[in-house]
Chain A
Amino acid sequence: MNEAASSAAALRVEVHLPLPQFQLRCSFQARPEVVVLFGPSGAGKTSVLDCIAGFRKPASGHILLGERVLFSSGQGVNLPVRQRRVGYLSQQPALFPHLSVRSNVGYGLLDLPRSERDARVDSILERFRIAPLAASRPPAISGGEQQRVALARTLVCEPELLLLDEPLSALDVTLKSLLLDAIFDWQRERAVPMLYVTHDQAEAYSLSRRVLVMESGSVVADGEPHQVFTAPFRREQAVLSGYENLFDAVIQETHPVLGTMTCRLAGSGLLLESPLANKAVGETASLALRAGDILVATTRPSGISARNLLSGRIHLIEDRDGMVAMSVLCPAGDDPAGHAPAGEGQTDFRVHITRGALQNLDLQIGQPVWLIIKTHSIQFLRN
């Protein structure tokens, strides 16, 4: 094994930094693995990377890479960027425009003897298939080629940690998957921690088994993609992850034997059967429901396993590209599960169906419909 692999070590981060919009308060660890930092724009993802790379100084906290202290407010350590051995790649290749591709890639190795530097540069140029460009200057090559050069320039230095800030978002799909493969191969060989920032959920799913969800400067969820994306933790993140229906509710009954609870929605008093959660009767809860998880029927269905059948009226039909978004107003009172009708007002359900379904059922605004909601498609939000 090479020296980098043997010295590869875990990253431990705990930083606090007041920013204009929020307090960055972020704490996590990463073994030599790929970790996706996911969150909306302005959640503080890039600020975290900047702290780790050394471009920004946290107000307090510590950043450790294995045994090395990169930053520690307690010990008064703030290692300069150049001594951190942290590779950083963003959407901008930031190549040196006046140097050839070869000189760009060799820049981080200037302290090595000429022969060793040349050998390492040659090998990485081959590996990233940019050897034919070696004599070109960055302005003369394409954006995808520039990003490959930037990647080679970063990796040739054998960084002990790799920070990638949406590095491929400007590239087309084919090129992107090619470069991703190259990055992941390298990460597996060197076994160093790698943080990959993205705000694209599909990308987060495909990239890593571990996703850290950031929101307003804090890590609000940490786990496998299907865990953090199917069990939303906070309202903002639920909206971001495609939960169009968010309701406040009060727990009316719990049915531990059935594994369900009855929740009364605030406003309308409509009752919904939800999965059993760690909540007591009378407690408030926030529920989330994907618009695509709701079924629509024009007549009252029977012999169906779903526990929630709601009658309502179509209030709005919007054709968006490729699918139809509907708004259905459901009053309290029709209660197939047999609960006592209660409350007043109506609840507005956002429902997504296909264009085909719209045509088949010949749905019109004002038409009465039935909504069918499976118990387990209802998720609880952490307050």
Chain B
Amino acid sequence: MTSPLLLSLQLALVTASLLLVLGLPLAWWLAFTRFRLRFLIESLVALPIVLPPTVLGFYLLLALGSRGSLGAFWARLTGHTLAFSFEGLVLGSVIYSLPFAVQPFTAALASVDRRVLAASASLGASSWRTFWRITFPLAVPGIVTGFALSFAHTLGEFGVVLMLGGNIPGHTQTASIAIFDNVQMLDYPAAARQSITLLAISFLLLVVINGLNRKRNWRLQ
């Protein structure tokens, strides 16, 4: 049986990695498109920041349950529903943490000097080469920040996980929910242990990220 803390870390790592893969192209599009309705997409991406997690969790529960279209499709494919499963948690977390990855990614990509990108093109580089050799390396601090923020945010997720995961120990009971359970059962020492661990992990993560970015910025100036 997986401990709540390990489960939380797994969920955060999978979610942040998925957001890196999916969020980067979206951020690239947002940073460089001239599409006039871009602000609509930006608003949609930012929605999870303002929405109560329970609202998001409720809609996801409807969609992922066996009567929901996505849930039914998944059930036909795999034999079990998305709701109350780790995969369901991943899907919920990806949506819930989307802005925490995409917004820093977009800001970082958009802040790369356009004249430098123009120079790359005029030296014969394709968009692909320009991205991997120039845009991406110059945006790394923002991309690392986005990865770390989405990781940390998923780690601390509560509402969506509770609505969607159903608090099944070993499967969908994450650290933040376990803390809540322990407090409900008046097991304060257990809640304290888990809380201090989460606090330490989150703080360390931010210290490492900020330290790395600072060193790098210093080198590029």
| A-to-B contact residues, CB < 8 Å | 53-55, 80-88, 90, 92, 94-98, 107-108, 110-111, 137, 139, 150, 153-154, 157
A332 to chain B, nearest CB (A): 57
A46 to chain B, nearest CB (A): 12
Residues of the A chain whose Cβ atoms lie less than 8 Å from the Cβ of B122: 53-54, 81-82, 84, 86-88, 154
Docked pose: A194 CA to B118 CA in angstroms: 19
Residues of the B chain whose Cβ atoms lie less than 8 Å from the Cβ of A80: 121
Docked pose: A3 CA to B126 CA in angstroms: 23
B165 to chain A, nearest CB (A): 42
Check B123 against A157 for contact (C-beta < 8 Å): yes
**B contact residues, range:** 20 to 34
| B-to-A contact residues, CB < 8 Å | 113, 115-116, 118-126, 129, 133-134, 137-138, 219-221
Docked pose: A111 CA to B221 CA in angstroms: 30
Chain A's closest residue to B137 (CB) is: A98
Residues of the A chain whose Cβ atoms lie less than 8 Å from the Cβ of B115: 90, 92, 94
Docked pose: A95 CA to B220 CA in angstroms: 12
Chain B's closest residue to A138 (CB) is: B220
Residues of the B chain whose Cβ atoms lie less than 8 Å from the Cβ of A95: 116, 119
Check A154 against B123 for contact (C-beta < 8 Å): yes
Give 6 closest A-B pairs by Cβ, nearest first: A108-B123, A81-B121, A94-B115, A94-B119, A88-B122, A82-B124
B139 to chain A, nearest CB (A): 10
Say whether, besides A55-B118, A110-B129, A139-B221, A85 and B124 are in contact (CB < 8 Å): yes
Check A98 against B123 for contact (C-beta < 8 Å): no
Docked pose: A92 CA to B113 CA in angstroms: 11
Residues of the A chain whose Cβ atoms lie less than 8 Å from the Cβ of B126: 82
Docked pose: A83 CA to B126 CA in angstroms: 9
Chain B's closest residue to A159 (CB) is: B122
Q: From B113, B129, B220, B221, give the contact of A94 (CB < 8 A).
A: B113
Say whether, besides A81-B118, A82-B126, A86-B122, A96 and B134 are in contact (CB < 8 Å): yes
Residues of the B chain whose Cβ atoms lie less than 8 Å from the Cβ of A82: 121-126
Docked pose: A154 CA to B119 CA in angstroms: 9
